[in-house]
Protein backbone atom coordinates (compact mmCIF):
# COMPACT_ATOMS: atom_id res chain seq x y z
CA UNK A 1 0.00 0.00 0.00
CA UNK A 2 2.52 2.59 1.14
CA UNK A 3 5.04 1.64 -1.56
CA UNK A 4 2.36 2.08 -4.24
CA UNK A 5 1.49 5.55 -2.96
CA UNK A 6 5.17 6.52 -2.82
CA UNK A 7 5.72 5.15 -6.33
CA UNK A 8 2.72 7.05 -7.65
CA UNK A 9 3.89 10.27 -6.01
CA UNK A 10 7.38 9.81 -7.42
CA UNK A 11 5.95 9.17 -10.89
CA UNK A 12 3.76 12.26 -10.73
CA UNK A 13 6.56 14.50 -9.50
CA UNK A 14 9.05 13.19 -12.04
CA UNK A 15 6.51 13.65 -14.85
CA UNK A 16 5.98 17.25 -13.85
CA UNK A 17 9.69 17.95 -13.45
CA UNK A 18 10.60 16.31 -16.75
CA UNK A 19 7.80 18.15 -18.47
CA UNK A 20 8.99 21.48 -17.13
CA UNK A 21 12.63 20.80 -17.91
CA UNK A 22 11.86 20.31 -21.59
CA UNK A 23 13.05 16.71 -21.86
CA UNK A 24 12.54 15.47 -25.39
CA UNK A 25 13.87 16.25 -28.81
CA UNK A 26 11.18 18.73 -29.73
CA UNK A 27 10.78 17.24 -33.18
CA UNK A 28 7.29 15.83 -32.79
CA UNK A 29 3.83 17.26 -32.50
CA UNK A 30 2.87 18.78 -29.18
CA UNK A 31 1.11 15.93 -27.41
CA UNK A 32 -0.77 18.25 -25.06
CA UNK A 33 -2.15 20.29 -27.94
CA UNK A 34 -3.44 17.09 -29.53
CA UNK A 35 -5.01 15.88 -26.27
CA UNK A 36 -6.55 19.28 -25.58
CA UNK A 37 -8.05 19.38 -29.06
CA UNK A 38 -9.55 15.91 -28.59
CA UNK A 39 -11.17 17.09 -25.36
CA UNK A 40 -12.59 20.18 -27.02
CA UNK A 41 -10.22 22.58 -25.26
CA UNK A 42 -8.41 25.26 -27.21
CA UNK A 43 -4.66 25.19 -26.62
CA UNK A 44 -3.17 28.65 -25.97
CA UNK A 45 -1.35 30.09 -28.99
CA UNK A 46 2.01 30.21 -27.19
CA UNK A 47 1.88 26.45 -26.55
CA UNK A 48 1.09 25.37 -30.10
CA UNK A 49 4.78 25.38 -31.04
CA UNK A 50 7.16 23.35 -28.89
CA UNK A 51 9.35 25.63 -26.81
CA UNK A 52 10.29 24.34 -23.34
CA UNK A 53 11.08 27.80 -21.94
CA UNK A 54 7.72 29.24 -23.03
CA UNK A 55 5.87 26.18 -21.70
CA UNK A 56 7.72 26.36 -18.39
CA UNK A 57 6.89 30.05 -17.96
CA UNK A 58 3.26 29.45 -18.95
CA UNK A 59 2.67 26.60 -16.52
CA UNK A 60 4.60 28.09 -13.62
CA UNK A 61 2.12 30.96 -13.78
CA UNK A 62 -0.77 28.46 -13.81
CA UNK A 63 -0.09 25.79 -11.17
CA UNK A 64 -3.68 24.51 -11.22
CA UNK A 65 -3.48 23.84 -14.97
CA UNK A 66 -0.13 22.12 -14.45
CA UNK A 67 -1.60 19.87 -11.75
CA UNK A 68 -4.66 19.10 -13.89
CA UNK A 69 -2.49 18.02 -16.80
CA UNK A 70 -0.22 16.05 -14.50
CA UNK A 71 -3.26 14.34 -13.02
CA UNK A 72 -4.64 13.47 -16.48
CA UNK A 73 -1.31 11.99 -17.50
CA UNK A 74 -1.08 10.01 -14.27
CA UNK A 75 -4.58 8.61 -14.68
CA UNK A 76 -3.88 7.56 -18.27
CA UNK A 77 -0.55 5.99 -17.33
CA UNK A 78 -2.10 4.31 -14.29
CA UNK A 79 -4.91 2.84 -16.38
CA UNK A 80 -2.48 1.55 -18.99
CA UNK A 81 -0.23 0.09 -16.27
CA UNK A 82 -3.20 -1.62 -14.65
CA UNK A 83 -4.22 -3.20 -17.95
CA UNK A 84 -0.66 -4.39 -18.59
CA UNK A 85 -0.53 -5.86 -15.07
CA UNK A 86 -3.86 -7.64 -15.53
CA UNK A 87 -2.73 -8.99 -18.91
CA UNK A 88 0.45 -10.35 -17.33
CA UNK A 89 -1.42 -11.94 -14.41
CA UNK A 90 -3.99 -13.58 -16.72
CA UNK A 91 -1.40 -14.67 -19.31
CA UNK A 92 -2.92 -12.46 -21.99
CA UNK A 93 0.27 -10.72 -23.01
CA UNK A 94 0.76 -10.07 -26.74
CA UNK A 95 3.73 -12.43 -26.89
CA UNK A 96 1.44 -15.20 -25.59
CA UNK A 97 -1.20 -14.60 -28.25
CA UNK A 98 -1.08 -17.47 -30.77
CA UNK A 99 -2.79 -15.43 -33.50
CA UNK A 100 -0.04 -12.80 -33.39
CA UNK A 101 2.66 -15.47 -33.76
CA UNK A 102 1.37 -16.56 -37.17
Judge residue 16's burial from the number of C-beta atoms within 10 Å of its C-beta, 0-12 exposed, 13-18 middle, 19 or more buried.
Answer: middle
- Looking at per-residue pLDDT, the higher value among 29 and 87 belongs to 87
d(CA 99, CA 41) in angstroms, rounded, equals 40
pLDDT digits (tens, 9 = 90+) for 46-81: 887 888 899 889 889 988 888 988 898 899 899 999
pTM over the 0.85 mark:
no
d(CA 70, CA 50) in angstroms, rounded, equals 18
d(CA 78, CA 84) in angstroms, rounded, equals 10
Q: 22 with 59: CB under 8 angstroms?
A: no
Amino acid sequence: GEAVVEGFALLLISSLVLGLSGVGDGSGEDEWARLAAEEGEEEPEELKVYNPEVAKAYFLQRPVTLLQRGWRSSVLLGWWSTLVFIDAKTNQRPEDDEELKR
